[in-house]
Amino acid sequence: MSQESSDAGRALMPRESLRLIQQNNSQSRFLLLDVRSPREHEEGHIEGSANLDFHSPDFMQELDRLEREKIYLVYCLVGVRSRKTLAAMKSLGFKEVYEIQGGIRAWHLEGLPVVRDKV
């Protein structure tokens, strides 16, 4: 896997991210985390993702409530918010965190599936 490593976690290309999801999605210790706004999430997200708004005033408290031992794959639109989230998660002691390099935009450009909430 071509991974970009840093103290903030590891960035995976969209297809590598899809493999990680397929390998772990049925596991209770895996969480796919969309850190975009609720509106962005409704407009299209990766199936099975939980939404935690990066710009919410309670964002850090919500992150702090998550289990440290789970595997997390984080994404946003293009990678800015997810990169900052990875750094925050590492500082909070999370063990295994990844981000989708290029965010959902790169995911979409690869032709990978997204779902939309029915309003």
Average pLDDT by consecutive 10-residue portion of the chain (119 residues)? 53 97 91 98 96 98 96 97 96 95 98 86
CB atoms within 10 A of CB 42: 14
Q: What are phi and psi of 18, to 5 degrees?
A: -60, -45
In a domain, 105, yes or no: yes
Amino acid 91: pLDDT: 94
In a domain, 40, yes or no: yes
pTM, to two decimals: 0.90
Number of domains in the chain: 1
In a domain, 70, yes or no: yes
Amino acid 119: pLDDT: 58
Amino acid 51: pLDDT: 98
Are 19 and 35 a contacting pair, CB within 8 Å?
A: no
In a domain, 115, yes or no: no
Q: Which domain holds residue 34?
A: 4-109
Question: Could you tell me which residues come within 8 angstroms of residue 49 by beta carbon, excluding any fewer than 6 positions away?
Answer: 32, 33, 34, 41, 75
In a domain, 116, yes or no: no
Per-residue burial over 58-94, b if 16 or more Cβ lie within 10 Å, else e, is ebeeebeebeeebbbbbbbbebebbbbbbebbeeeeb
Nearest Cα to Cα of residue 101 among 71, 65, 74: 74
Amino acid 60: pLDDT: 97
Measured distance between the N- and C-terminal CA atoms of the chain, rounded to whole angstroms = 38
Amino acid 1: pLDDT: 41
In a domain, 118, yes or no: no
Amino acid 3: pLDDT: 46
Amino acid 2: pLDDT: 42
Q: What CATH number does the domain containing 32 carry?
A: 3.40.250.10
In a domain, 34, yes or no: yes
Measure the CA–CA gap between 22 and 64, rounded to whole angstroms: 26
In a domain, 117, yes or no: no
